């Protein structure tokens, strides 16, 4: 009997499997971070092994670099390839304009750099990440270690003037210590409940000294591939203005899971 994926994991897996079809020979590919991206890395590895797909990839985190190396993916540095054809990454939330909240895995800075340096950004997600209004998920921002608590207080002061329904900035901690990003910075998770004006908020946050970058991705994402537990995949393509649907084999995803 094959191990069963939970509906959420099946949704992530089929979204990732669908999205790797967009990758073609010779492409320079940005690799996201997180559990959905981990599926994408496995499927890309399979295409390299089984179809001889010839690509070079730039990872958005140390964790992703390790997974990609394990999957037999050739890696490079962004400064060496200079520009990417496509980046495939997960998201914590996306809305109807494909504005994203990212950074749940703490890699938002490199993720934003590689996605912005790509012709196309494809987000892969389970469909529960779709929201009418951003903000139910915390908005992560990356801040330098110097004056962490002072920066936190300045960020909360900025939030008071914004169209949001919560004003708390919490230092992300692991085992009691501030979480440290690959760039040696820390993360503040902003609990806002609802973000009325993402554009204004993103600009205001990046004005605060000590804030390196925020997890709002605005006008960056081109396509969202959203998976459902029953095998349906919904593809929203902003460039073409289309929403299409496909059916994937959930059983196959479960079998791959069983063989991990
Ligand atoms: O932004 C991210 C990491 O910084 C992730 O893409 C986001 O948190 C989604 O993660 P998952 O695929 O595990 O749901």
Q: What is the pLDDT of residues 202-239, one digit of tens each?
A: 999 999 999 999 999 999 999 999 999 999 999 999 99
| Torsion sign over Cα 233, 88, 91, 239 | negative
> Where in the chain do CATH 3.30.70.260 domains reside?
139-212
Tell me the CA–centroid distance for residue 43 and ligand 1, in Å. 17
pLDDT recorded at residue 1? 40
Does 210 contact ligand 1 (Cβ within 6 A)? Answer: no
Residue 108 in contact with ligand 1 by CB distance below 6 A: yes
Ligand 1, atom nearest to 34 Cα: 13
Quick check: 243 pLDDT over 80?
A: yes
Distances (CA, A) of 120 to 7, 28, 46, 114, 247: 28, 11, 22, 10, 23
Considering the four listed CATH numbers 3.20.20.150, 3.40.50.1360, 3.40.50.300, 2.40.110.10, the one that applies to the domain covering 7-130+219-258 is: 3.40.50.1360
In the reported structure, the alpha carbon of residue 30 is separated from the centroid of ligand 1 by a whole-number distance in angstroms of 14
Give me the mean pLDDT over the 243-250 stretch.
92
Rounded mean pLDDT, 29-48? 98
Active site residue 24: no
For the segment 96-150, what is each residue's pLDDT rounded down to a tens digit? 999 999 999 999 999 999 999 999 999 999 999 999 999 999 999 999 999 999 9
The residues of the chain that CATH labels 3.40.50.1360 are: 7-130+219-258
Q: Which residues pair with 20 in a beta bridge?
A: none
Mean pLDDT computed over 170-196: 98
CB of 98 shorter than 6 A to ligand 1: no
ipTM of the modeled complex: 0.98
Q: Which of 90, 121, 140 to mutate to test the pocket of ligand 1 (most atoms within 8 A of CB)?
A: 90
Q: Is the minimum distance from the CB of 33 to ligand 1 under 6 angstroms? A: yes
pLDDT attached to residue 260: 44
Q: What is the pTM of this model?
A: 0.95
Q: What pLDDT is recorded for position 178? A: 98
Instruction: Tell me, in angstroms, the distance from the centre of ligand 1 to residue 104's CA.
Output: 5
Q: What is the CATH number of domain 139-212?
A: 3.30.70.260
- Catalytic residue, candidates 93, 111, 142, 213: 111
The reply, when asked if residue 215 is annotated as ligand binding, is no
CA separation for the pair 223, 216 (Å, rounded):
16
Please check if 161 is assigned to a binding site.
no
Our mutation pick for probing the ligand 1 site, out of 36, 126, 127, counting the most ligand atoms within 8 A of Cβ, is 36
pLDDT at 258 over 60: no
Q: Look up residue 132 and give its two tokens.
A: 């009418």
Question: CB of 140 closer than 6 A to ligand 1?
Answer: no
Percent of the chain predicted with pLDDT > 90: 93
pLDDT (tens digit per residue) in 50-94? 999 999 999 999 999 999 999 999 999 999 999 999 999 999 999
34 labelled binding-site residue: yes
Ligand 1 in contact with 215 (CB < 6 A)? no
| Average pLDDT, integer, range 235-251 | 92
Count of beta carbons in the 10 Å neighbourhood of residue 80: 10
């Amino acid at each position: 009997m094959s191990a069963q994926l939970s509906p959420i994991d099946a949704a992530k897996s089929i979204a990732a499997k669908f999205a790797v079809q967009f990758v073609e020979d010779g492409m320079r590919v940005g690799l996201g971070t997180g559990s959905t991206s981990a599926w994408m890395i496995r499927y890309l590895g399979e295409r390299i092994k089984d179809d001889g797909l010839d690509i070079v990839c730039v990872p958005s985190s140390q964790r992703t670099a390790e997974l990609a190396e394990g999957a037999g993916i050739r890696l490079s540095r962004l400064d060496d390839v200079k520009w990417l054809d496509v980046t495939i990454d997960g998201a914590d939330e996306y809305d109807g304009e494909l504005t994203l909240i990212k950074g749940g895995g703490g890699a938002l800075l490199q993720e934003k750099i590689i996605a912005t340096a790509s012709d196309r950004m494809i987000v892969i997600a389970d469909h529960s990440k779709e929201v009418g209004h951003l903000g139910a998920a915390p908005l992560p921002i990356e801040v330098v270690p110097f004056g962490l608590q002072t920066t936190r207080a300045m960020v909360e002061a900025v939030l008071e003037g914004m169209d949001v329904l919560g004003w708390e900035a919490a230092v992300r901690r692991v085992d009691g210590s501030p979480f440290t990003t690959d760039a040696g910075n820390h993360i503040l998770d902003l609990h806002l409940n609802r973000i009325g004006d993402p554009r204004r908020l993103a600009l205001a946050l990046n004005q605060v000294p000590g804030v390196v970058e925020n997890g709002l991705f605005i006008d960056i994402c081109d396509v969202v591939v959203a998976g459902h537990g029953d095998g349906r995949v919904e593809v929203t393509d902003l460039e073409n203005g289309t929403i299409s649907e496909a059916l994937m084999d959930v059983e196959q995803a479960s079998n791959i899971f069983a063989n991990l």
